[in-house]
């Protein structure tokens, strides 16, 4: 008789809990990403947005507004797509606008060593953001995706600076139109 009462109590409890939404278990990736984002220490010239809401940490956008160098004053938005096996694989990062830069191609692909061969699981989102910021304060002509921009930076830095400024104003550089980002 006691077992019958306990069974009925368990049925009532199960029925009551069926109406409540079940808490979603977080994956190891989501736990790590949550920690990375809560520990972000962005420079004052960077912002982060979650276009799908704070519940979707697997996709977000970071905007970098350099305060020095060739790209000073421009606003450069990047999308971050976090792979399911993060932190074992790096995030997929793309520049959302066309920018005249030695390390960013016209499709928004970014040449940053920690997003490729130098990625290690101990690195985090903060390291990637600072790496991107560093690309704007000190572009690297020795590891280019845009070979024309890299050659110009190496051989004619004054012309490179003029072309960067013109491209940031929404002009054409070497036959390619760029978005106004100033």
Active site residues per annotation: 111
Nearest to 133 by CA among 63, 36, 81, 48: 63
CA–CA gap between residue 29 and residue 47 (Å, rounded): 22
23 CB neighbour count, 10 Å cutoff: 6
Nearest to 11 by CA among 44, 3, 83, 34: 3
CA–CA gap between residue 124 and residue 37 (Å, rounded): 9
CA–CA gap between residue 20 and residue 63 (Å, rounded): 38
CA–CA gap between residue 95 and residue 104 (Å, rounded): 8
CA–CA gap between residue 172 and residue 180 (Å, rounded): 11
């Amino acid at each position: 008789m006691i077992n019958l009462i306990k069974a009925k109590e368990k049925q009532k409890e199960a029925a009551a809990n069926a109406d409540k939404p079940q808490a979603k278990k977080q994956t190891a990736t989501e736990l790590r990403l949550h920690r990375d984002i809560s520990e972000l220490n962005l420079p004052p010239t960077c912002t982060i947005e979650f276009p799908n809401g704070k519940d979707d940490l697997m996709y977000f956008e970071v905007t970098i507004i350099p305060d020095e160098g060739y790209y000073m004053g421009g606003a450069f938005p990047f999308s971050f797509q976090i792979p399911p096996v993060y932190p074992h694989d790096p995030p997929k990062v793309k520049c959302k606008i066309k920018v005249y830069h030695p390390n960013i191609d016209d499709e928004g692909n970014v040449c940053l060593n920690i997003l490729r061969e130098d990625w290690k699981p101990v690195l985090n989102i903060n390291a990637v953001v600072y790496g991107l910021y560093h690309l704007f304060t000190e572009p690297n002509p020795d590891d280019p995706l845009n070979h024309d921009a890299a050659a110009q930076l190496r051989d004619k830095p004054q012309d490179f600076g003029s072309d960067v400024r013109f491209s940031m104003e929404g002009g054409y550089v070497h036959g390619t139109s760029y978005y106004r980002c100033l």
